[in-house]
Amino acid sequence: MTDVEAYLSKLRAQGFKLTGKRRAIVEVLLREDRYITAKDLMEALKESYPSLSLDTVYRNLNMLKEAHIIEESEYGEGGSRYRIRCSTDHHHHLVCIRCGKTEALEDCPMDILAHVPEGYQVVGHRFEVLGYCPGCTDDLSSKGGREV
């Protein structure tokens, strides 16, 4: 079974309808293997789906997020970006805010949290370290540290 088929089987098992657009979104996100914007995704699908709207892309992304197929990362004013959800055990990421590349972190910051205030019940957490990957750092350095 291919990676695409594994994710689509998970979707089907949850009772979600499988459409060509959803398959295409999963294929693009698997191929990219990094966080990308909804606009980047729409651009990648434009040839196969010329009338695809950004609303349709967002609706499908939200459904795939609800089905735990993809992850969303908020980039402040840069908006959200999306990637295929990792299939490995619990872990966190370093995320390049320029190209969207990710690297897994071995440690979990929750392990050092010695105390949760009384009355709180932790049901989950998110932790991402945002910065620049080595390739983007080198590229920015060669341009005097500025985005072009």
The whole-angstrom separation of Cα 146 and Cα 123 is 40
Residue 93 makes CB contacts below 8 A (sequence gap 6+) with 102, 103, 104, 105, 128, 129
Q: Is position 133 annotated in a ligand binding site? A: yes
Q: Is position 96 annotated in a ligand binding site? A: yes
Q: Is position 90 annotated in a ligand binding site? A: yes
String of b and e for 120-139 (b: at least 16 CB within 10 Å)?
A: eeeeeeeebeeebbeebeee
Q: Which of 41, 7, 46 is nearest to 23 (CA)?
A: 7
Q: Is position 86 annotated in a ligand binding site? A: no
Known binding-site residues equal 90, 96, 99, 125, 133, 136
Residue numbers in the known binding site for Zn(2+) are 96, 99, 133, 136
Known binding residues for Fe cation: 90, 125
